[in-house]
């Protein structure tokens, strides 16, 4: 069974002190039946990991270089991130593609570098897909994801995390639609099954990202192909984030209040 994974993506928010204080406030309140992570600015990651200690909080990098070392001024090495205790790295986020012109080829190189350094990639992908019909059955091919996963060893695929992010939902005020989240995640899973096999597709966790908040996370997480959420602005507040990582309890509480 795939373990739910809830991730806060802070983008370029919170300084070192704010990041450490946030970790200190939540680290003893994390549910054991879910994986919880925070993707913060690189300058904060080492200190966050030290404060997180032996808790099950995953410290996540928002980006890193494709090269493990060398004359690349301003870049961040995957090896250095691993040495700092980073367990995951987010790659291919829509904002990286739009603002920094990151290509599928560049992201693919970063995925391979992350795996070489022992860091698990969280690969972000949007709704770019090609619909095909085979023997009367509709299949989806995510060209973006197919390119980014090129040359990844088959035995490494099941540990990789995918995040489905519709471009219209990222950084917007739109309400996330649970049906759209399920449709996109299911299509990605089918595409993985078609490209590799059902076993790999069943093991890979697929998250949904885009306008997730305390009011819609339970409905989104209730969908069978949604294994987690990548949360932006709603994750910046401690109480809001704690509510979202305990979405089942939150839904029960709201139902009781309505009654």
Residue ranges of the annotated binding site for substrate are 9-11, 171, 211
Element (H, E) at 36: strand 35-40
Tell me the C-alpha distance between 77 and 160, whole Å: 19
Q: Is 93 tagged catalytic?
A: yes
- With contact defined as beta carbons under 8 Å apart, do 216 and 245 qualify? no
- The torsion of the CA quartet 54, 55, 61, 66, rounded to 10 degrees, works out to 50
| Alpha-carbon distances, residue 97 vs 102, 145, 163, 179 (angstroms) | 5, 13, 14, 26
Given 95, 102, 165, 182, the catalytic residue: 165
Given 35, 93, 95, 102, the catalytic residue: 93
Tell me the C-alpha distance between 193 and 232, whole Å: 29
- With contact defined as beta carbons under 8 Å apart, do 135 and 190 qualify? no
Q: Is 139 tagged catalytic?
A: no
Element (H, E) at 130: strand 130-134
Token couple for 23: 């970790």
Token couple for 94: 């829509």
Tell me the C-alpha distance between 208 and 182, whole Å: 8
DSSP assigned state of 222 = T
What's the CA angle centered on 122, arms 118 and 123, to 5 degrees? 120
Catalytically annotated residues? 93, 165
């Amino acid at each position: 069974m795939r373990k739910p994974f809830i991730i806060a993506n802070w983008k370029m928010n919170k300084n070192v002190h704010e990041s450490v204080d946030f970790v200190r406030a939540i680290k003893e309140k994390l549910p054991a039946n879910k994986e919880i992570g925070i993707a913060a600015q690189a300058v904060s990651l080492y200190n966050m990991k030290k404060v997180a200690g032996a808790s099950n909080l995953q410290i996540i990098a928002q980006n890193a270089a494709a090269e493990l070392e060398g004359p690349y001024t301003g870049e961040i090495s995957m090896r250095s991130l691993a040495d700092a205790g980073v367990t995951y790295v987010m790659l291919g986020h829509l904002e990286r593609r739009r603002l920094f012109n990151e290509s599928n080829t560049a992201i693919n190189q970063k995925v391979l570098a992350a795996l070489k350094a022992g860091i698990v990639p969280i690969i972000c992908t949007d709704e770019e897909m090609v619909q095909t019909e085979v023997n009367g059955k509709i299949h989806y091919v995510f060209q973006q994801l197919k390119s980014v996963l090129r040359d990844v060893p088959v035995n490494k695929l099941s540990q990789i995390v995918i995040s489905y992010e519709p471009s219209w939902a990222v950084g917007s005020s739109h309400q996330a639609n649970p049906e759209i989240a399920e449709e996109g995640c299911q299509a990605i899973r089918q595409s993985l099954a078609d490209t590799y096999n059902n076993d790999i597709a069943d093991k890979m966790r697929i998250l949904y990202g885009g306008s997730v908040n305390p009011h819609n996370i339970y409905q989104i997480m209730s969908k069978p192909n949604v294994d987690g959420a990548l949360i932006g602005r709603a994750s910046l507040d401690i109480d809001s984030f704690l509510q979202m990582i305990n979405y089942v309890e939150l839904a029960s509480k709201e139902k009781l209040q309505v009654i």
